[in-house]
A and B are shown apart, each in its own frame.
Chain A
Amino acid sequence: MTLPPGVRSVPVGSLRTEVLKSLRQPGARWGHATAREQYGGGLALEVLVLDTRRGTGTVLSAPLPPGTQEYSSVTPEVPAAHWAERAIGDLFGLRATGHPRWESLLLHEAWPADHYPLRSDAPEETKPAPREAYQFLRVEGEGVHQIPVGPIHAGIIEPGHFRFSCLGGVIANLEIRLGYQHRGIEKRMTEVPWAQGRFLAESASSDTAVGNALAHSVAIEQLLGAEPAPRVQALRTIALELERVACHLGDLGGLSGDIGFSPGAALFSRLRGAALGLGEKLTGSRLQRGYARPLGVSRDLGDATRMALREGTEELARKVGQALPMLLGNPGVVERMEGAGRLSANLAKEFGLVGPAARASGGHYDARRCFAHGVYPDPELTPATRTGGDAYARAEVRGDEVTASLTRVAGLLDSLPVGKVQTALPERLPAGRVAVGVVEAWRGELIHWVTTDGEGRISRYCIKDPSFNNWTGLAIAARGNLVADFPLCNKSFSLSYSGNDL
């Protein structure tokens, strides 16, 4: 079990310096930033700094004097903070002074100005004042033209707006504007009965059902101070790794499609189907919805099904072993993907990228090595890494991870501990606690950060999807590429829009 994060109260005036000091500690990593209403009134601004060495973190909590409207931005020193501060602006009406690019992130013209949904003292929506039009970054110079794309895209994919500033067919700058799917999940998590919150938590980004359910479960278990049985941990890990396998295989198929390599698209979508079939055997749902839950899983695994899963895993691993060289060893595929959407190691690090995208740009961070979730942490886990930083490197990392995950699933099925898979949960959560669940979901580090009030109700539920870090990586990587290669760059990052919009 992870340790709950330490909470340190700091005056808002010194929050910035305290954050910078904490981030200089060995093993420290920017986690997330948000605000919340305190029990008893008033807002607090909070920054989560993760401690990857001890598998926990520190919440630097700065209570705000009444009437506070701004604070000093940390983005100039910590670029990874830039979207978190903008989200705080939209949800709480707090401005980060010194932020290099202050615009809305989640709320759009469809929402009135001065409406801050996570503040209870926000003025009622009596006179909906129109929101100021969003100002895209202007790129000037001879021949520069703009291409607006979205929110609705050409494929079967989520909505978001891409504004390309181009020189001929080459992207000079890409600005990504999301938030169209904002569903108010964080607030809703404080309104529904907590024992049923797991379903809503899954739908934060419903293609990451296991990742989200597991991060939710870890956080709730931390609040309760309880640890699930070893069998539960093993079963949830199998689900988490099967989700990774299915999604990575789907992405390899998608990448094949985006470069016109139809045999790859057909083959990998079939393999993805096989991986979903394994997940369905385990959980009853192709996308493994509703399986992982606090202190348990929704159903036990019988021995016959275990054997069938074991066989299916082995067969899938064999087929994947044949399919990967067909894609990654094909000279046409290599030529098409090499050099496309290159992201340098230092920028990936500066903007705090996570998951396969970070590891394809030389990063080594994998939350499975540091944070407790399922059978993890496993300090022995060797992260799949590449240094190319391009679409090809990201495809290779995915390929490696599929193979490694299938090996792990097979190992877990062979040595499944015995025991119960469900434990009754108490009616109430402990009062005045903070918990942080960190999971290496298939897209990377996923955080569920939960605070309870003086009566044990969830007063703030904050989710940081891996894509929240990685969208900026895509914007940077697209520069200098052909507009025609953007679908390839985009797919190679494979980001969640709804996980970002929440």
Chain B
Amino acid sequence: MLSSLRALVGAGMATQRGLFPDQPEGANGLPKVTEQPCLGERCGLCVAACPTQAIALGPAAGGEGAVALDRGVCIGCSGCLEACPTGTLARDLRTRTAVTRREDLVFSNRQRPVRGAEPRRPSELLRSLHVREVSTGCNATDLEVQATTNPIFDAARFGVHFVASPRFADALLVTGPVARGMREAVVRCHRAMGAPRLVLAVGTCAVSGGLHRGGYAEAEGVSVVLQPDVYVPGCPPHPWSIIHGLLVAMGRAEGVAAGTTTEKEPDGSRGKGT
């Protein structure tokens, strides 16, 4: 007992103080679209390298020289940006990656129409969020969701608690591609929750089916059965990105709208009680 205490005290504090640090240098991160001109379809190296058809070029992306990269489908393998000869696609190590609108996961070098403000989050969730996690086929994302509760990331300090029953939950956090066999379970879990009840699609699989799209099991993400309020891309997402998604759900951080180099840099730490 004494030796346990000694070891624990001696180990010191593990919790990361700075919020949403970038992923370390050398990490894969996620790709982003820069303002460097794209060679378009006559190059096409990124499209060929992508295992999930996350990239569209030229007219399919909105015109000559356009490139559109859908992070909701991307698995972050870095194949595209390593193949890109012009630097149009580059590495993005930031961890604030969650959005509230599916279309905001599509990064493009084209001007985007100005949109209205983001939908307002229910303010009663500002201080605490009780979350029911339902996994449907990606145990890597499950591990990273679990990691948000460990001493390093410590999601509990933001008032986030993972609960054992949908009856206690304000938010349903879905991981995995929601293939046929899990649809009913996900819907019934959601139905068992009281209002307000938010839905988070966490991980590329949950957003779109990711690698599993197109097969006979119809694994195309959670939106087939429920409308997500927050999307967190990544295969799997970084624990900080998952925390970002949770804070966006609570209304304590803004979802990052996709763009080239001018995204907002919201401060996840603001809000009462932090």
Is A191's beta carbon under 8 Å from chain B?
Answer: yes
Which residues of B are found within 8 Å of A207, using beta-carbon distances?
A: 139-140, 142-143
For chain B, the count of residues having a C-beta within 8 Å of the partner chain is 62
Taking a contact as CB atoms under 8 Å apart, the answer to whether A330 and B4 are in contact is yes
Taking a contact as CB atoms under 8 Å apart, the answer to whether B78 and A156 are in contact is no
A210 shortest CB reach to chain B, Å:
12
Q: Which of B39-47, B57-65, B214-222 contacts A (4 or more CB under 8 A)?
A: B214-222
**Are A496 and B139 also in contact (CB < 8 A) when A184-B219, A270-B150 are?**
yes
Select A289's contact among B77, B139, B212, B219, beta carbons within 8 Å. B77
Taking a contact as CB atoms under 8 Å apart, the answer to whether A205 and B27 are in contact is no
Select A206's contact among B3, B140, B219, beta carbons within 8 Å. B140
Is B145's beta carbon under 8 Å from chain A?
Answer: yes
Complex formed: what's the CA distance from A272 to B177 in Å?
26
Select A158's contact among B135, B212, B219, B238, beta carbons within 8 Å. B135
Is A250's beta carbon under 8 Å from chain B?
Answer: yes
Complex formed: what's the CA distance from A289 to B134 in Å?
22
Interface residues of A in 140-173 (CB under 8 A from B): 151-152, 154-159
Range class of the A interface residue count: 35 or more
Which residues of B are found within 8 Å of A192, using beta-carbon distances?
A: 51
Which residues of B are found within 8 Å of A290, using beta-carbon distances?
A: 28, 75, 77-78
Name which of B3, B140, B205 has the most chain A CB atoms within 10 A of its CB: B140
Taking a contact as CB atoms under 8 Å apart, the answer to whether B139 and A188 are in contact is no
Complex formed: what's the CA distance from A287 to B24 in Å?
14
**Are A199 and B236 also in contact (CB < 8 A) when A117-B216, A157-B135, A284-B26 are?**
no
**Are A151 and B180 also in contact (CB < 8 A) when A273-B150, A286-B238, A326-B3 are?**
no
Cβ proximity bits B201-218 to A, threshold 8 Å, 1 near / 0 not: 000010000111011110
Taking a contact as CB atoms under 8 Å apart, the answer to whether B181 and A180 are in contact is yes
Which residues of A are found within 8 Å of B146, using beta-carbon distances?
A: 156
Q: Which of B6-14, B110-118, B251-259 contacts A (4 or more CB under 8 A)?
A: B6-14
Is A322's beta carbon under 8 Å from chain B?
Answer: yes
Is B227's beta carbon under 8 Å from chain A?
Answer: no
Which residues of B are found within 8 Å of A188, using beta-carbon distances?
A: 212, 214-215
Is A280's beta carbon under 8 Å from chain B?
Answer: yes
Taking a contact as CB atoms under 8 Å apart, the answer to whether A184 and B152 are in contact is no
Is B19's beta carbon under 8 Å from chain A?
Answer: no
Select A180's contact among B143, B182, B189, beta carbons within 8 Å. B182
Which residues of B are found within 8 Å of A289, using beta-carbon distances?
A: 28, 75-77, 140, 235-236
B3 shortest CB reach to chain A, Å:
6
Please name the residue on chain B nearest to A199 by beta carbon: B51
Taking a contact as CB atoms under 8 Å apart, the answer to whether B150 and A159 are in contact is no
Is B136's beta carbon under 8 Å from chain A?
Answer: yes
**Are A154 and B143 also in contact (CB < 8 A) when A110-B183, A267-B7 are?**
no
Is B103's beta carbon under 8 Å from chain A?
Answer: no
Is B87's beta carbon under 8 Å from chain A?
Answer: no
Which residues of A are found within 8 Å of B217, using beta-carbon distances?
A: 117, 182-184
Taking a contact as CB atoms under 8 Å apart, the answer to whether B236 and A287 are in contact is yes
Apart from the given pairs A181-B179, A200-B212, 5 other A-B contacts in the complex at a CB distance below 8 Å: A183-B177, A183-B179, A209-B140, A289-B77, A323-B7
Offer 29 A-B interface pairs, CB within 8 angstroms, sorted by A: A111-B180, A117-B216, A151-B185, A156-B145, A157-B142, A181-B182, A183-B212, A187-B215, A199-B52, A199-B77, A203-B140, A206-B140, A206-B141, A207-B139, A250-B143, A267-B7, A269-B151, A269-B152, A270-B11, A270-B150, A270-B152, A273-B14, A280-B24, A280-B27, A285-B76, A290-B28, A323-B7, A326-B4, A498-B138
